[in-house]
Structures are given as C-alpha cells and as structure tokens.
Amino acid sequence: MPSFDALFILLAFVVVVGALTFTLDDLFIDLYALVNRLKPRQVTSDFITKIKQEPEKRFAILIANWKEAEVIAPMIRGNLRGLQYKNYTFFLGVYPNDTATWDAAKKLEDLFPHNVVVVVNTQPGPTSKGQMLNEMARQILKSEISTGRKYDLFLMQDSEDVLHPHSLSLMNHYSQSADFVQIPVFSFDVPATSFVGGVYIDEFSESHTKDLLVRESMGAAIPSAGVGTCLSRALMMKMQDAQDGQFLKEDTLTEDYHLGMMTKQLGFKSRFACVQYEKENGKKEFIATREYFPHLLQASMRQKSRWTLGIAFQGKDNLSWTGTAVDKYFMWRDRRGPLNSILIVFSVLLLVAFAAARATGNLPEILQTSAFQFLLLLNLINMSVRIIQRMKAVSLTNARMHIPLVPVRWLLANYINIGATIKAYRQYKESQRTGQRPAWIKTEHRMPEHFGKEIEVQST
C-alpha cells in the first residue's frame, strides 16, 4: 500500500503539471492573439453611416418566453425605440398556460402591429428554449405563405436583452459574406458589491474580445451565445433538413452551442462581428447585446451547471470529436471545465497538505528541489498573466471600477464552477440512468430600471 509521502508527492506533481498544462493552453490563446494582432475592430461613425445605407434584409427576431410578463413589455418598448433599422419583426413565443405573459405579449402586438407578432406554442410550458424556438420557426415559415412577408435573417434574442441601436445594421452588413453572424454579448455594469454578477462581466469580456476572435482566425467553429446570433434563411432551412425539422437540437441544454458547431459541419461560413466604434464625442462603444446576468450564487450555479452539462457532457455525446484538428482543439477547451474544477479541488487539498507538512517539518525532499519550485513559479506567473488578461478585457467593456475586482471575482468564479460541475455531473448521470433528458430551468430576468418605460410614437 502506498505511503502517505508517496501519495502526497503524486498529488503534488499531478496538480502542478495539470495546472501548468491548462495555463499554457490559455497562454497559447493569448500569444496567438498578440502575434496576429487580434482585437475588436475599430471603426468610426463613417462606417456606421455606410452600413446603414445598405439595403435592409428583413429580420425575424425570435424571443422565447416563459413567465416573462414583468420584462417583455419594457424590453420590446425600449428596443423599438432604440433600434435604428426599419425592416424587422419581433416574434414573441408564449405558452398557452402562461396567460400573464401571453396577455402582455398580445398587448404589445395590438400596440405595435407592424413590428410585433405573438406565436403561441402548441404545447403547454415549460418545454425547453430549443423546443419553443423550433416551434416559432416552423410557424413563422408557414405564415409567410399567407402574409407574403418572407424573412431573410433570423435573430435569436432573450426577453431581457437590450439590443444596440446599430446591431441589426451590423449583422445585415456581415450577412453578405456569412450565414452565421454572432455579435458580442456583455453584462451591464453592476454594483461593486455584486460579486456574482461581476463574474459574468469578467468572463464574457475576455471571451468576446479575444477568445472568439482567435477561434475565428484559426478557422474553428464559432459557438452561438444564444443571443445576438443571426442566421441566414439558407442556414435555417438546412439545419431543419439535417435535424428532422429542428433548426435547434432539442435534446441538449445548450442548443445554441450545438447550433454554432453544426453550422461549420454543414459547410456554412460563420463570422464573429466584434466591432467597437468611436462616436463623434470621442467615446468608444461596442455594438453588442447587453443584459443582466444572475447575481445570486445559487442562480449562477444553476445556470452554469446547464452550460457545463450541455457543452462538456452532452456535447461529447452529440458532437463526438468530429471536424478538423483545430475544431477538436477548441472542443477540448470547451469541455475541459469539469477537469478544471477537479484540478482546483485537488489544488486546495495540496495547499492544506503543504502547510501541514511545512509546519511539522515533514515536507518530502523532492518537493523542496529547485525543479519542483520552478514548476510552482511557472504556475504562479501563468496565473498572474491570466488575471491580468482578464483585467485588460474588462477595461474594454465595462466601468473602470471593475478592474481591481477581477482577482477577487476570479476566486469566486472558481467556486461557482466547482458547484456547477458537481450539479451537472449528477444531472448527467441521472439522465443516463433514467433515459430522460435533463430538465431546462431558466434563470430569472430583469431589465435596466428605466429601459422601455415610456414610448409615445408607434413604430412603423
């Protein structure tokens, strides 16, 4: 039977080498972005003027709703007022047994008949976001025959989203060369004391100002963020043909991620339209979808467990390891989350064991060698680089007060991810045992306080 020292030494090297492997993986993304000078595209107001003069394709904006009576009205009112684009329709998907949301949506349809249409699901809710959106797509395509209005582009948004005034113009522009267009998604600023909500600021800032740019540059599939995702009519129809009438796969909790992966597999071109423009007053602004993310610990764990289950576990089952070497590499990065969590847990155990061994003078000699100490130093340096990279990303997207909070929130993010991984694994094993797909549980939504509260002129 191995001695305690032997197990201690094994744990130490597994943790240190594992952490080094993951941090070097992240460092590769940093270096690739640096060497290739990848960063958000900087444009001026002249670019905005140019894209707004291009012929407007007709957008169908799909919003799936379940118990969203509180937010759907201000969301629609505010975005109708803000969007600087004319050729679009909001389709509000509701369930027949969610009368409050149905009533709120119907009032909006009556008030804005040219821009809002209610779609009632044939099934009672809640089903899943994927099922609702698939039902909406089928009804929209069917209605084109009677209305004579044919839609060119299909845009997925959520009931708490604030669309940038130029977002439709930007996606319309990029749709000339791509069938799948994803724009950035960022969190609104939250109070400094909202640490959980701040975690989303940090993570989306880094992912949507660097990581997705690297994926695009290397030719990998671009995952949908679930919102701010625009599809061409051709891609929508092809996805339905390939998946038995479903443009979104319904037996996964991350139907948006699956959509992005399938887009490349079906041979369609994707673009990540990360654009920051400078206004006439000199202020820079991203053309992005903004929203509030969960600000409570349990709600965040619940949401992230859904992402982990859908991407790491169901993604492996549904997508396997198909595609090019680059695709497989990014699949590895997407699915390594549970391994990260395991590594963090063992890192904590190692830290406790190290402290105990030093206090008693029983630290094994091999762990005192310069070689092992060098490995520890590398990990410390790489961890510092990771935090600095995230701070740099946050400085681009949110208020400066969030920059010094990144290291604290990095620790909290790891704790949330560990809890989410445990929850996701339990759900996955339970679904394998029972043969039933894991249930979709949506998060609570909220809007900016004054967004869409008043609107006097009907949109046309």
Closest to 240 (Cα-Cα) out of 141, 307, 119, 318:
141
Residue 159's domain comprises 40-292
Q: Do 268 and 177 sit in the same domain of this protein?
A: yes
pLDDT at 142 over 70: yes
**Angle between the N-to-C axes of helices 337-360 and 406-434, in degrees from 0 to 180, rounded to the nearest 10:** 120
Q: Do 80 and 155 sit in the same domain of this protein?
A: yes
Q: Do 95 and 170 sit in the same domain of this protein?
A: yes
Q: What is the pLDDT of residues 143-164, one digit of tens each?
A: 998 888 899 999 999 999 999 9
- The stretch 274-294 carries a mean pLDDT of 91
Q: What is the pLDDT of residues 166-194, one digit of tens each?
A: 999 999 999 999 999 999 999 999 999 99
Q: Do 340 and 284 sit in the same domain of this protein?
A: no
Total domains in the fold of the chain? 2
Q: Do 17 and 69 sit in the same domain of this protein?
A: no
What type of residue sits at position 192? A
Q: Is residue 318 part of a domain?
A: no
pLDDT at 458 over 60: no
Q: Where are the alpha helices (DSSP H) in 207-284?
A: 212-218, 233-242, 255-265
Q: Structure pTM?
A: 0.92
Residue 6: the pLDDT is 82
Closest to 165 (Cα-Cα) out of 54, 51, 297, 64:
51
Q: Is residue 316 part of a domain?
A: no
CA distance 259 to 319: 11
Q: Do 25 and 48 sit in the same domain of this protein?
A: no
Q: Is residue 440 part of a domain?
A: no
Query: What are the residues whose beta carbons fall under 8 Å from the beta carbon of 447, sequence distance 6 or more?
Result: 71, 74, 75, 78, 160, 162, 292
Q: Is residue 298 part of a domain?
A: no
Residue 146: the pLDDT is 86
CA distance 343 to 450: 43
Q: Do 388 and 248 sit in the same domain of this protein?
A: no
Q: Do 23 and 53 sit in the same domain of this protein?
A: no
Q: How confident is the model at residue 5 (pLDDT cuts 50, 70, 90)?
A: confident
Q: Do 78 and 223 sit in the same domain of this protein?
A: yes
Q: Do 25 and 50 sit in the same domain of this protein?
A: no
Q: Is residue 460 part of a domain?
A: no
Q: Do 372 and 232 sit in the same domain of this protein?
A: no
Q: What is the pLDDT of residues 398-442, one digit of tens each?
A: 999 999 999 999 999 999 999 999 999 999 998 888 877 766 667
Among 242, 268, 292, give the residue marking a domain's end.
292
Q: CATH number, domain at 110?
A: 3.90.550.10
Q: Is residue 317 part of a domain?
A: no
Q: Measured between alpha carbons, how far apart are the two ends of the chain, in Å?
A: 78
Query: What are the residues whose beta carbons fall under 8 Å from the beta carbon of 63, sequence distance 6 or more?
Result: 72, 75, 90, 91, 92, 93, 157, 158, 159
Q: How confident is the model at residue 459 (pLDDT cuts 50, 70, 90)?
A: very low
Give strand pairing partners of 162: 290
- The stretch 211-234 carries a mean pLDDT of 97
Q: What is the pLDDT of residues 59-111, one digit of tens each?
A: 999 999 999 999 999 999 999 999 999 999 999 999 999 999 999 999 999 99
Q: Is residue 155 part of a domain?
A: yes
Mean pLDDT of the chain: 91
- The stretch 298-307 carries a mean pLDDT of 93
For β-strands 284-286 and 180-182, DSSP reports them as unpaired
Q: Is residue 210 part of a domain?
A: yes
Q: Do 338 and 236 sit in the same domain of this protein?
A: no
- The single-letter DSSP state of residue 453 is S
